[in-house]
Amino acid sequence: MQKSNIHYWLALKSVPRLAIHKKLALVNHHGLSTLFTSSKLTSANNLTVKQLSAFHQPDWQAIDEIIINSQRCHSEIIGFDDEQYPPMLKQIYDPPLVLFVQGNKSLLHQNQLAIVGSRSASINGRETAFKIAQQLVDVGLVITSGLALGIDAAAHKGALTRHASTIAVVATGLDQVYPRRHRSLAKNIIEKEGAIISEFLPGTSPKAGHFPKRNRIISGLSGVLVVEAALQSGSLITARCALEQNRDVFAIPSGIGNLQAKGCHWLIKQGAKLVEEPADIINELVFLDNSSLHLSQHPKLESSVNEEIDGERLNKDLCDDEMLDSVGFEITPVDTVVLRSKLPIQEVLTRLTILELKGLVAAVPGGYLRL
C-alpha cells in the first residue's frame, strides 16, 4: 500500500530521542519519503541504532492505527509541509511535525492573539479576560488559549460570543478533554466553528511535561497577552517562549495586593507592553492579513468592576465560587458583589460583614476591597 505524506510525518515523529530541528534538517537534506525508502542514512549521520531502525523499519501498522484513532475522534492530521499548517508556527525553532485538528482548521491561518493567565485567577481577572477577548474578536482577531481553568476558560468564553473566533491548544490527545469539567466548553468551541489542536497522539493523557510543549505552540501561533499570573506560573513559561520566538508579549496590570498579578507586573518591568485597551495590542502586532481586521473599531477595555459582562454566560460559571471570590483586589461596589454572587443583597451584606470581621475584606468608600 502506498504511503501518504502523513504516514511519513508520523513515522518521523516516532523516531526516538532526535530533536525536531534535526529531523527537519534531515528532511531538507534527503527529502521526507527518502528518509524511509532508501539506505542513505547510516551511523555516519550521528544516529543511534534505535533511530536508524526507526528510519529503516517504521512500524507502519502502528502508524495506520494512529490515523484510524484520529478519525475516530473526528480530527484531521496536518503535516509540516501541508498548506493548512499555520505559517507562524513554522517559524519557531521546534515546530510540531504534525498537528491534530478538530473543528475549523481555517482559523490556523487567521490573525490571532493568545490570552493566558492563572488557573486560580481572581474574579476581576476572569472578567477582564472575557471582556478583552470579546473586544479583540470584534476587531477581527481569533483568540488562542489553552483550555485551562481560570483565565484560559474566560478568554475562550469571551471569544465564543462570536462564531469562528477561538482556538484551544491542548496537552492531551484529542480523544479526551482536560480538565474534564471543560467538556462542555470544548464541545461549544467545536459547535461554534472554533478549533481544538494538539501535537499529541490520540490516547495521550495529561502529564506535567506536556504543558510546556503545549505552551510553545500557543505562543508560536501569535503574540501573547498575560492577564493574571503569579511569579511561579506556567503563563510566564508561555511568555518566555513568546520572547524566544520573537513574538509580542503584552500584560495587564492589577492592584499591588493581587498576588496573582505579580507575574504581569514582572513582565511589564522586563519590557512587556502594558495593556489598558485593545488598541494597545492592535497597534503593536504584526498581522498575517490586515484585510481581515476591523481596525476602526478600538473599544475601550472598561473596568470589569463596574459593569455586567454578558451576564448569563460568564456568571453561570462564577456562581459556584465562594463569597470571597466576588470581591476584587480593587474597590468592588456592593451592587457588583450582588451581581457576581447572585445572592439577595441582605445575605451579601451579612456575609461581607463576616468576612470583614475575619480580616479578609475591608469596607472602603465605594464598596469593599479584598485583603
**Residue 91: inside a domain:** no
pLDDT value for 105: 97
Domain match, 142 and 254 both: yes
pLDDT value for 138: 93
Domain match, 274 and 125 both: yes
pLDDT value for 295: 57
CATH number, residue 181: 3.40.50.450
List per-block mean pLDDT (blocks of 10 residues) for the chain, which spans 371 residues.
Answer: 90 95 94 89 83 94 97 98 96 96 97 95 93 94 97 98 96 97 98 98 95 95 94 89 92 86 92 91 72 55 34 35 79 89 83 81 84 79
pLDDT value for 306: 31
Domain match, 360 and 279 both: no
Domain match, 265 and 132 both: yes
Phi, psi of 93 (to 5 degrees): -65, -40
pLDDT value for 288: 61
Q: Using DSSP bridges, classify how beta strands 195-198 and 98-103 pair: parallel, antiparallel or unpaired.
A: antiparallel
d(CA 13, CA 206): 19
Range of the domain at 273: 105-292
CA distance readout (Å), 224 to 95, 113, 199, 269, 283: 17, 6, 20, 16, 14
Among residues 257, 292, 327, the one where a domain terminates is: 292
pLDDT value for 260: 83
pLDDT value for 303: 37
> Grid coordinates in use for 224?
501573547
Annotate 66-84 with b (16+ C-beta within 10 A) or e (fewer).
Answer: beebbeeeebbbbbbeeee
Among residues 275, 292, 309, the one where a domain terminates is: 292
d(CA 300, CA 238): 26
CATH number, residue 366: 1.10.10
**Residue 81: inside a domain:** no
